[in-house]
Amino acid sequence: MRYVLAIWAAPLVLFWGWFGLSYYDVNFGFVMMTRQAHDLIFQLYGNVLGLDPATIPWLVAKACIFDTVLLLLIWAFRRRRDLLARWRAWRDARPAADQVASSSGRALPSA
């Protein structure tokens, strides 16, 4: 699962890193990182997809969020027994409300 997370995270870090740097024109001398290249690339994608170039980053963000949720659900499903055991241990370790009230000398209000 560690490799799956790495394979999932690497393109996200590369894309959003490039997007943020090129959007704010922090180019470090690379043509690919300039705002002009940023606008050209999204104009090209917009023409190919038939969409407004301004909507493409939001569509990519939605896809990234969906992929992240899907990957976390798969991870939780694979670890469901461990997660359930931790939750039960946490629940059992908490002092019960009646134990806390009886140790303070006050009675619990009745319904």
- The pLDDT tens digits of the residues spanning 1-44 come to 789 889 999 999 999 999 999 999 999 999 999 999 999 999 99
Residue 98, pLDDT > 70, answer: no
As a whole number of angstroms, the distance between CA 39 and CA 9 comes to: 25
Phi, psi of 108, rounded to the nearest 5 degrees = -75, 145
pLDDT at 101 over 70: no
Is residue 107 predicted with pLDDT exceeding 70? Answer: no
Average pLDDT over every residue of 56-71: 96
For the chain, domain boundaries: 2-79
Q: Give residue 62's pLDDT.
A: 97
